[in-house]
Amino acid sequence: MKAGGIQQNPSTSIAIIGGLFFIMGWFTWINGPLISFVQLAFDLNLVNAFLVTFVFYLSYFCWALPASWLLDRTGMKRGMATALWIMAGGAILFGEFCTRRWYPGALAGLFVIGAGLAVLQTAANPYISILGPIESAAQRIAIMGICNKIAGIAAPILLGTLVLHGMGDIATKVAAADAAGKEQLLDTFAASIHLPYLAMAGMLALLGVGILLSPLPDVRAEHNGSSAASGAQEKTLWQYPHVWLGALAIFVYVGAEVMAGDAIGTYGRSFNIPLDEAKFFTSLTLGCMLLGYVTGFVAIPRFVSQDRYLAGSAILGVLLTLGAFLTKGYLSVGFVAALGFANAMMWPAIFPLAVHGLGRLIERGAALLIMGIVGGALIPQLFAVLRQTFDFQVVFAALMVPCYLYIWYFAAKGHLASSSTSEK
């Protein structure tokens, strides 16, 4: 990609991409309260309710490579518009099948939304990474993270207020009703999400048109001209071990992030915290993440390098996880929410460290990293399954601590793997 085309007015490009990160945050972090919604609306056990996150994040794994091929053909600008239209279609499907109370169809809608987000992520993350020097990439992505997490704070609150209001009372009425009354109550509750998702679909469709008409430069031309690109023409991703280690770091990071953000409501409910309180816990985590992004924006690279900040964040994640394990009730939930602060700068640091030096292979490398998002499908699902047999706090700690320890390894040594290999 010819950097000059986007450096003429980088603030405009940053603002537009920031808006897209807001959209990504909205549809990602709405999943937390959706778990509670589908569990009641479709009368599900917890394992089946957690298919919300499983299907959503599995979609990234399935569509990341096709997304990179699409972007090769369309360029990033048209590709991002296409992604928004795909998401609009998924939102329509989800709302419609929720109204019909057909769970496989609702999951299919989430899968389609995830497909659109896979395209959007594959385009937007490398785009913002190359808007300036690699040393400050984490700072730029931190700005994107702030946009993402503001949406993440707002989405659960709005969904909880507009759709999930009084859900605890509805659950009580459902439990006391006869079969016919139960179905009527659940039909009404499930249908309440239809109009909000139709409205979101309309906004996404209009935003797709707006992206096409915007001054956002198309950067499909990256494959031409740069010395970094020509030097990588005969190489493959297999010759860059740091990108593979980075994909695994993304896998465990997203798994830990979803555990702290989307599973926190279930975690709180395990202490018998009322449902009408637990549905807002995702916003607490996202509030801590927002604070973490602001801190990272100020600190990197002015006071600390992004790899050292990442290592410190991983250590903090271990300590907060142990704090959650050793306490109970609201205090334990508070430690889980505080993991949002530790998690905040992990994606902004891992992504640029993992794609550094890839040249013309950056889109393929980005797609590989996006595939790592499937950790958000598998790790929370493990939590939902294992907590049926073991103490939920033991399961939470046993899953989270290894994730943070691997992220520490990537920050300390893993991201240097390609340099070490080339020296040999």
Cis peptide before 301 (omega within 30 of 0): yes
pLDDT of the residue at 163: 78
Segment among 73-87, 132-146, 160-174, 184-198 with least mean pLDDT: 132-146
pLDDT of the residue at 409: 96
CA torsion, points 157, 158, 163, 169, in degrees to nearest 10? 30
Residue 5 has pLDDT above 90, yes or no: no
pLDDT of the residue at 288: 92
SS3 228: helix
CATH 1.20.1250.20 fits 4-423, yes or no: yes
Place 249 in a pLDDT band, splitting at 50, 70 and 90: very high
Place 115 in a pLDDT band, splitting at 50, 70 and 90: very high
Q: Counting beta carbons within 10 angstroms of the beta carbon of residue 102, is it exposed (0 to 12), middle (13 to 18) or buried (19 or more)?
A: middle
- CB neighbour list of residue 145: distance below 8 Å, 6 or more residues apart: 21, 289, 293, 296, 344, 345, 347, 348
pLDDT of the residue at 240: 85
Euclidean distance between CA atoms 14 and 330, whole angstroms: 38
Q: By the 8 A CB rule, do 57 and 376 touch?
A: yes
Average pLDDT over residues 308-320: 95
Euclidean distance between CA atoms 116 and 24, whole angstroms: 10
Q: By the 8 A CB rule, do 47 and 384 touch?
A: yes
- Token pair belonging to 401: 């601590």
Residue 222 has pLDDT above 70, yes or no: no
Average pLDDT over residues 335-361: 87
pLDDT of the residue at 72: 79
pLDDT of the residue at 420: 47
Residue 337 has pLDDT above 70, yes or no: yes
Euclidean distance between CA atoms 106 and 337, whole angstroms: 28
Domain edges within the chain: 4-423
| Cβ-based neighbour number of residue 386 at 10 Å | 16
pLDDT of the residue at 132: 61
- CB neighbour list of residue 73: distance below 8 Å, 6 or more residues apart: none
The pLDDT tens digits of the residues spanning 395-418 come to 999 999 999 999 999 999 888 876
DSSP state of 274: -
pLDDT of the residue at 9: 57
- What is the DSSP annotation of 78-136? HHHHHHHHHHHHHHHHHHHHHHHT-HHHHHHHHHHHHHHHHHHHHHHHHHHHTTS-GGG
Closest CA to 260 of 144, 157, 344, 168: 344
Place 221 in a pLDDT band, splitting at 50, 70 and 90: very low
pLDDT of the residue at 245: 94
Give the phi and the psi of residue 108 in degrees, each rounded to 5.
-60, -40
The pLDDT tens digits of the residues spanning 168-190 come to 788 888 888 898 889 999 999 99
Q: By the 8 A CB rule, do 58 and 372 touch?
A: no
Average pLDDT over residues 278-297: 86
Average pLDDT over residues 370-383: 92
Segment among 83-87, 119-123, 218-222, 289-293 with least mean pLDDT: 218-222
Residue 424 has pLDDT above 90, yes or no: no
Segment among 61-65, 97-101, 146-150 with least mean pLDDT: 146-150
SS3 219: coil
R_g of the chain, CA atoms, integer Å: 21
DSSP state of 178: -
Residue 77 has pLDDT above 80, yes or no: yes
Name the more confident of 397 and 19. Answer: 397
Euclidean distance between CA atoms 176 and 182, whole angstroms: 8
Residue 232 has pLDDT above 70, yes or no: no
Looking at every residue in the chain, the average pLDDT score rounds to: 85
SS3 183: helix
* CA distances, 181 to each of 168, 171, 184, 186, 191 (Å): 17, 12, 5, 9, 16
Q: Counting beta carbons within 10 angstroms of the beta carbon of residue 265, is it exposed (0 to 12), middle (13 to 18) or buried (19 or more)?
A: buried
The pLDDT tens digits of the residues spanning 25-73 come to 899 888 888 988 999 999 999 899 999 999 999 998 898 888 878 887 8
Residue 303 has pLDDT above 80, yes or no: yes
Closest CA to 51 of 108, 96, 95, 11: 108
